[in-house]
Structure 1
Amino acid sequence: MRKSAILSLFLIIATNLHAQYTETINSNRPGQSQGAFAVGTNVIQIETGPYFGSEEHTGLGTDTDIWGVDYQLRYGLLFENLELNLTGSFESQDIYRDFLGVTSESTIRNFKSNTIGAKYLIFDPHKSLKEDKPNLYSWKANQRFKWKTLIPAISIYAGANFSFGENPYLYEGEGKFSPKAAIITQNNWGRWVLVLNLIADKLSEDYRSYTGIITVTHTLTENMAIFGEYQGIKSDLYADDILRAGGAYLIGEDFQFDISGLVNFKDTPSKWQVAAGVSYRFDLHKVDEFLEESSEGNKRRQRSEELNKDEGDGVIDDDGGE
């Protein structure tokens, strides 16, 4: 297994494959950001896990115990650049209130969020930018920093939030359906990956929400990676600054396990949370799409075509069987 393929842990697309599909699972967990690349055509991917934590709000005098499960279902449709996904969470809150000496307890439990959407890769620098040819006369010129490596892959996302029935997580007057949009960028620099999400949420509501997420991922070994993440949230109802960190471990090509935690820096409310999860890929991908003008892509295409031809003709193995 090539080391570059392992870099597809959480958000990484192998930089020398020049295709959406990767040899190992490409998961958005355990962070909250989306990577710019899709899972690949005919790939079905499930990413889910439980979490628990606590929130303490000094202004309201509440102490809340929280547990829940978040989930994401991803599917590569029609061609490599397009992905459909369903993202959401189910959450339970046990709320203990002590206000002016009066104590009370209550519990709310429902789907905190559900969003169905589509992500489309509009720019891939590995496909759109020509690869630099080596300078045969200058070692220094070959080692010089290349500014175009700062140009990221770019995707756009459009989705719709939805809710059914009486949901306690909707604020008073909030509609059960609202649009969501995002711009997603991703830079791959060897063992390091930088992902940026700019999100505009609940665009049809009076209280819109704007979020920025920056995620940095670093591969430690062929099977292990760590990440750090900052999330800033701005709206008239709720604003916050959240830090996350954690790691993921790859088992085989289609299974990933992860752990993570978060904290924030305010007391209205202050919060902490820990989570664990898994990502599993049902790999129904049949044909890899490679960049024609890439020498590596042409080599992989040729190998793929030769393998398909041998399988179709029936190749005799060393033991004399087919």
Structure 2
Amino acid sequence: HKFQFKNLLPAVSLYGGANFVLGDNPFYIGEPTISYRGMIATQSRLTPRFVLITNTAYDRISTDDPELSYTISLSHAFRNPKWSVFVEHQGIDSDRYSDVLIRGGIAHLLKENLQFDFNMGASLKNTPTRIFFGIGGSYRMDFHKDSLKPIEDQEADQNGGAIDKKAMKKKK
């Protein structure tokens, strides 16, 4: 349960999408109907209970006011793994809006794929200062199914190798 340097190597994902401004929206005067966005997300499992997540996004790429933002999040699972806490630092930079935000919260896994969270945060700038809270939920759609293979059909080097004879002994 200790930190290992190899755990700093993150899982990486790429995201691409589009923003759509429909109708006569007074908040987006002069914006194109479609603008593009992209993001790089990473996740590193530092220890069995600590996870570091980063998101770096470039939004409204094809507009006059593109936005660069990042989020760094550290989460910690409690002994009851259905509960976790998190802290986040978020930076936003564009000609239209710039800010630095901090937030923290708690999350609960209600069912295998259903999670709820409560968070509070504040901006670090004073033009104006923002204090906020939020309640959220997420549902994971997991279409991945592992194929079950009888143990006698598995090779010794699969799933972590051969079982150590002392692995099941109670630790003192």
TM-score by structure 1 length? 0.43
User: Is 1:223 the equivalent of 2:94?
Assistant: no
Instruction: Report the equivalent of 2:127.
Output: 268
Q: Greater CA radius of gyration, 1 or 2?
A: 1
Q: 2:159 is matched with which residue: 296, 307, 310?
A: 296
Q: 2:18 is matched with which residue: 160, 163, 175?
A: 160
Question: How far 1:149 moved relative to its partner?
Answer: 2.3
Matched residue of 1:148: which SS?
A: helix
Question: How far 1:258 moved relative to its partner?
Answer: 1.1
What is the count of residue pairs matched by the alignment?
A: 153
Question: How far 1:255 moved relative to its partner?
Answer: 2.0
More helix by share: 1
Question: How far 1:268 moved relative to its partner?
Answer: 2.1
Describe the shift of the 1:263–1:193 C-alpha distance in structure 2 as closer, same or farther (beyond 3 A): same
Q: 1:238 is matched with which residue: 91, 97, 100?
A: 97
The CA distance in 1 between the partners of 2:9 and 2:121, in whole Å, is 29
Instruction: Report the equivalent of 2:41.
Output: 184
Contact 2:74 2:87 in 1 (8 A): yes
Question: How far 1:286 moved relative to its partner?
Answer: 6.0
- Kindly report which structure 2 residues correspond to 1:1-322, keeping only aligned pairs within 5 A, or say none: 146-170=4-28, 172-189=29-46, 190-220=48-78, 221-281=80-140, 285=143, 287-288=145-146, 295-296=158-159
Query: What RMSD, in angstroms, separates the aligned Cα atoms of the two structures?
Result: 2.7
Question: How far 1:254 moved relative to its partner?
Answer: 2.5
Contact 2:55 2:71 in 1 (8 A): yes
The CA distance in 1 between the partners of 2:123 and 2:105, in whole Å, is 15
Residue segments in structure 2 that go unaligned for 5+ positions in a row: 149-153, 163-172
The answer to which structure, 1 or 2, has the higher relative contact order (CA under 8 A, 6+ apart) is 1
Question: How far 1:298 moved relative to its partner?
Answer: 8.8
Deviation track 1:43-100 (CA, whole Å, cap 9, x = no partner) reads: xxxxxxxxxxxxxxxxxxxxxxxxxxxxxxxxxxxxxxxxxxxxxxxxxxxxxxxxxx
Describe the shift of the 1:272–1:150 C-alpha distance in structure 2 as closer, same or farther (beyond 3 A): same
Describe the shift of the 1:273–1:280 C-alpha distance in structure 2 as closer, same or farther (beyond 3 A): same
Question: How far 1:146 moved relative to its partner?
Answer: 4.6
Question: How far 1:257 moved relative to its partner?
Answer: 1.7
Question: How far 1:233 moved relative to its partner?
Answer: 0.7
Question: How far 1:156 moved relative to its partner?
Answer: 1.0
The CA distance in 2 between the partners of 1:153 and 1:243, in whole Å, is 24
Describe the shift of the 1:204–1:286 C-alpha distance in structure 2 as closer, same or farther (beyond 3 A): closer
TM-score by structure 2 length? 0.78
